[in-house]
Structures are given as structure tokens and as C-alpha cells.
Chains A and B, each alone.
Chain A
């Protein structure tokens, strides 16, 4: 017992000494690195690390290197709050990057207002994540924008007149997106014929899909995540669902695109990023990512990268949490991988989105770039 105490004391002292002396900027990372959101968490972390390494290799910000302190929030609300409190309260980071889900981001709002360390979520899109809280930010667009784009594309481009939605009841992201899609679709002139829901960890969607089939909707909007998403797509084929499926940025994952069977061909999704975008910022990012990780980057990697970029941009004004908060709000027309970013007073981001369609490429499927939609 005594040895443990000594060890702990040494580690603590070492930690304090280390951070004080070396002129580092400590930034906290709050991501799901275990549990069912692991693949998203790891993807985002890869993107973040890529940018952080690039900055440090170039000498850091004004000579100060970035030190990433990583906490695993396991995809859970309470753990996310604990991670935030540890990073912002104990580790004294100047900003916290993450969490990635809307539900978890909403959960830390109160803590962020109390501890006053800015939170930048790379991917939380629910509308209520950022407003009325000066310390909450995001790097992505939000649901009212995304839902509207999906609805307009479905109605205007694909000419679908009737739609159904399938909501994940455990996710504020899914609920928010569906609400916005419904509003926008009906505003454009379409009709929502039915709405079904499911729970996370469900594996059988036969009952819901049957009802949707019965409603004869022309398209089915499913803004969800794996592991339910691939199962839904597969089972839709089994049951002979004729509605065309469409979704949102949660689909942009290998486990969905290449793990859902042939039914995914022809589906379209709203995304934040496409590898085929010709802009130099995108092409540089893609080649740099492929060189470092030997894999192709997707939406989450790109948004992770952009989050760190936004953070560094805000650092130009100063390195304390307060100045970073103001610096983030001041970002205008920042050229990022996922588009031109401008932060609104609300903490939201004005940027464009892309529409991707899933096509067959040899014996795999890829999300092919179709169009860009500006705010």
C-alpha cells in the first residue's frame, strides 16, 4: 500500500512539473474509444492527431507545442461529463475537443458553463448543442441545415413525393434530424406518410420495416449509426422494401458503406466531406492522411482535423480558455478541409454540405460526390 502511495505521489509531481516547464498547450480530447461508437471515436482521433502532429512538426504555436490529453468517454453521458470535469478541472486543459455525439455534447453544457473551458465538438449536429452557452462550439453544420438539405434533395432532385422516417430513440442526433427532415420535406411540398422508431442495440427491425413497406413511401430517411444501420439496410432488402433509403453523416463509415450488403447501392446521404473535392485543402489532407495512416480518410477524420485547425486558429488571439473562446467566435471564412468555416455568435458554423451517392466500384461500394450545397 505504501509503495502505491509513493508511486502515485511521484506520478503526480512528475505530471505537475512536466506541464509547467515545457511551454506546452494542453488540449483535452473527449472521445468514445470503447463501446459501440469506437470506430467513430478512433476515426476522429486520427484526424486530430494528424493535424496536431503537423503543427508540432512545424514548431508549434509561437514555439509552444500541442499536448493532447486523451480521455475515453465510452460513448456514455456520465462518463463524458466525468471526462470533461477531469480534463478541464484537474488537468487544466485550455479547451476540450469532443464529444462527438449530440447527446453527450448536450450533457456537458452545464459543466462547460460552470468550469468555463471551451468545448468544440467535431461532429455533434443537434441544434441545441451550442446556443445560449458561450463555451460550446462545433466544427460541423447542424441538424436544421442537414435535415433541410436531405429533404430538398429528396423532393427536388430525386422527385420523391412521399417519405417515411425511422428514428433512433436513444440519439438526440437522430431525433433532431428526423424532426428537421420532416418539417423541410413537408415545407417543400412532400408528404410524410409514416414515422417508426427503434432502440439502440435492437437487432430485428422487421416489425418497423413491415409498417413502412405498408405505407408505400417512396423514400425512407434513416439517420442512424452502426450497428443498427447495416442491419436495417440488410433487412430492408430481405423484406422487399421498395422505398429508396437515404441518410445523413452517420452513414459515412466503412462498416456501413461496405457492411450493409447490396441494398446500399443508389442510396444518397448528406455528408460534410468528400475525398473527390478538388480543392487543394482537401487534396493535401487526403494525401497526407493516406501517407501517415495508409488508409483513406472519411467525414469523421476530416472533421477531427478541422477541429484542431479551428482550435489553432483561435489560439492566435491568446492561449487561455477565455481568449480561445473569443478567438473561436471570431473565425470567419476559415479555409478548412470540410469547407469554408464561419462561426456564428451562437457557436454554430456556417459552411456547406455535400451530397454523396453510394455506387458500386468494382466489388466494393463507395460514396461518390454528387453536389455541394451552400448555406
Chain B
């Protein structure tokens, strides 16, 4: 029972991060039906940007000030890279079909990974934790739950995710912009006829997605290492989370994120060798696609001829 609590808590914490990334995926897919492979890289760039700001800040800055600053700058970096990617890479091929879009997304993902590799050639980065009171040190502080150490900072993830989700939900459901997003998502041509500026809506959607991903990047950056390939697996799992929860659905993305996080940790709980942890997410995906392809909270769309 002891162990179970540890793995459950771990699962919820990492699930919150997956949920944040999954929100970005689901928003973008809902709007332009594109699986943005590069979304995981937005997360990675957010982490690097946060670390970059940390390097620039004067060393005496108290953590209570620097941590929110880092999160904010990561979010902004996420926004910048997302909008840039949309403008340069995705917009020109919007009419070119599925394969072109997917391949371009893959290309962008590779490109960003390699650019990061050039900037960070050797060992992965980590917030230094030698000085007491430094960010790295604070983020390493843990309490023991269920026989295992959970880093205290991880407890911030769940409330942060919930708050951001609620804000996003409010935007999508209650504002004019949100209405425009939903319109474009349902039928872009009709929305254009109604006078909605499609380009602007798409751009702002990417903005929101990039923000979520960047913030998630900063959070993970605090408690783990930052390296160029760090976005690959979480990106993939977050996409699976979005699909499992129902792609296009905001609560679905969050639900999916938590499910994947918990399932992963349950694998460890059941004493299965830790190497198989990543497989869990894919197995869940295949099961869901077999049993309920639209996802748990997704809606079924029939293709009309």
C-alpha cells in the first residue's frame, strides 16, 4: 500500500505535465487537423529558454522571484517558437494535404532537435544545486511519500495545470475568440465566409499551445535534466494522451494526460522492468484506438460522401 501511494503521486505529477503538453496538441489538431510533431520540441525550447534566463539573472536573486520569472520566460519562448513555426513552415502547406503537413511537422521537429544539439554539444544542462537556496537545490528538496522521495516542486504541477486548463476552458467557451476557434475547427471555409480571420485564429491557437508547452518545459527543467532530445518522448506520450482523452477536447487532453502518467507508474509498481515504462503509453493508445477510436471524451464524426 505504501508503494502504491508513491507511484500514484508520481503518476499524477508527471500526468499533469503530460496534460499541459497534450492541451497544446489538442488545440492545434482541433483547429487545423495537424499532428504537430514539433510540439515536443516547443516544450524542449521552453526548458532551454528558462535555463538561459536563469544564467542571465544575477546570482543573488531569491528563488521566489526567479522561479516565476523562469516559468514566464519559458512560456514566452514557447509562444515565439510556436508562432514562428506556424508562419514559416505550416502556413504555406496548409492546402497541400495530410502527408505534406505531417512530413513538414516531422522535419521541423528534427530541425529544432538538431539546432538544440549544436547549442548544447556536450553534457545535458541542469540547474546547479550546490548552493543552498539556489533554484536547483530548492527543486531537489523532497519529502518521502509512500517510501519514495517526491520532489516538493512536483506538487506545484497539478494545481498549475488545473488553473491553466480552467483559463483555457474559459477562453474557448466563453470568449468571442473561443467561439471563433470553435467555428474554424468545425468548418474553416464557412467560418471564413462569416468574416472570421482564419490566419489570426490559427496563429493565436498556436500561441496558446506554445505557451502551455513552454511552461511544461520549465517545470520539468527544474527537476530533471535539460537536453536536446528531451521533448521527443514526452511529446509522443502527450499526443497519445490527447488521443486517449479525445482529440479536440480540452478536458479530454487533461484526462488523457493523467491516465498516461498513472498507467506508466503503475507499470513500475507492478515490478515490471523499468525499461518497459515507455511501452505502456503505446499499449494504452492501441487499446483505446481499438475499443473507442474517438477517445474517451471525444465525439464521433462520420465521414460523409
Interface residues of A, Cβ cutoff 8 Å to B: 34-36, 38-39, 169, 197-199, 201-204, 206-208, 210, 226-227, 231, 234-235, 238-240, 255, 261
Contact = CB atoms under 8 A, between A and B. Distances in A.
B129 interface: yes
A210 B129 contact: no
Nearest to A41: B122
Contacts of A238: 140, 142, 149, 151
B149 A239 contact: yes
B107 interface: no
Given A34-B122, A39-B122, 7 more contacts: A199-B275, A208-B274, A227-B123, A238-B151, A239-B144, A239-B149, A255-B123
B133 interface: no
B224 A36 contact: no
Interface of B: 10, 121-124, 129-130, 140, 142, 144, 147-149, 151, 224-225, 227, 229, 268, 273-275
Given A198-B274, A203-B225, A34 B149 contact: no
Contacts of A226: 123
A197 B274 CA distance: 9
Given A39-B123, A203-B224, A261-B130, A210 B275 contact: no
A238 B141 CA distance: 8
Q: Which of B122, B149, B227, B275 has the most CB of A within 10 A?
A: B122
Contacts of A199: 275
Contacts of A235: 149
Contacts of B227: 227
A36 B122 CA distance: 6
A207 B151 CA distance: 14
Contacts of B224: 203-204
B274 to A, nearest CB: 5
Contact of A239 (B10, B148, B225): B148
Nearest to A202: B274
A261 B129 contact: yes
A21 B175 CA distance: 78
A200 B273 CA distance: 15
B130 A206 contact: no
A212 B151 CA distance: 20
17 contacts: A34-B122, A35-B122, A36-B122, A36-B124, A38-B121, A38-B123, A39-B123, A169-B275, A198-B274, A203-B224, A207-B274, A208-B274, A210-B147, A227-B225, A235-B149, A238-B142, A261-B130
B147 to A, nearest CB: 7
Nearest to A235: B149
A224 B275 CA distance: 17
A207 B273 CA distance: 10
Nearest to B274: A207
Contacts of B144: 239-240
B124 A206 contact: no
A235 B273 CA distance: 19
A255 B128 CA distance: 11
Contacts of A208: 274
A169 B274 CA distance: 12
List 9 tightest A-B contacts by C-beta distance, closest first: A38-B122, A238-B149, A203-B224, A239-B149, A207-B268, A238-B142, A227-B124, A206-B148, A207-B274
A34 B121 contact: yes
Contacts of A227: 123-124, 225, 227
Nearest to B229: A201
B75 to A, nearest CB: 23
Nearest to B130: A261
A207 B277 CA distance: 11
Given A34-B121, A38-B122, A210 B225 contact: no
A98 to B, nearest CB: 17
A36 B229 CA distance: 12
Contact of A234 (B123, B140, B148, B268): B140
Given A227-B225, A234-B140, A206 B149 contact: yes
Contacts of A203: 224-225
Contacts of B275: 169, 199
Given A210-B148, A234-B140, A36 B123 contact: yes
A197 B275 CA distance: 9
A358 to B, nearest CB: 15
Contacts of A231: 225
A35 B144 CA distance: 35
Nearest to B129: A261
Contacts of B147: 210
A83 to B, nearest CB: 18
Contacts of A39: 122-123
A239 B142 CA distance: 9
Nearest to A38: B122
A361 B137 CA distance: 21
Contacts of A34: 121-122
A221 B268 CA distance: 23
A226 B122 CA distance: 11
A197 B124 CA distance: 21
A197 to B, nearest CB: 8
Contacts of B129: 234, 261
A235 B148 CA distance: 10
A197 B276 CA distance: 13
A78 to B, nearest CB: 18
Nearest to B147: A210
A17 to B, nearest CB: 34
A202 B224 CA distance: 10
Contacts of B123: 36, 38-39, 226-227, 255
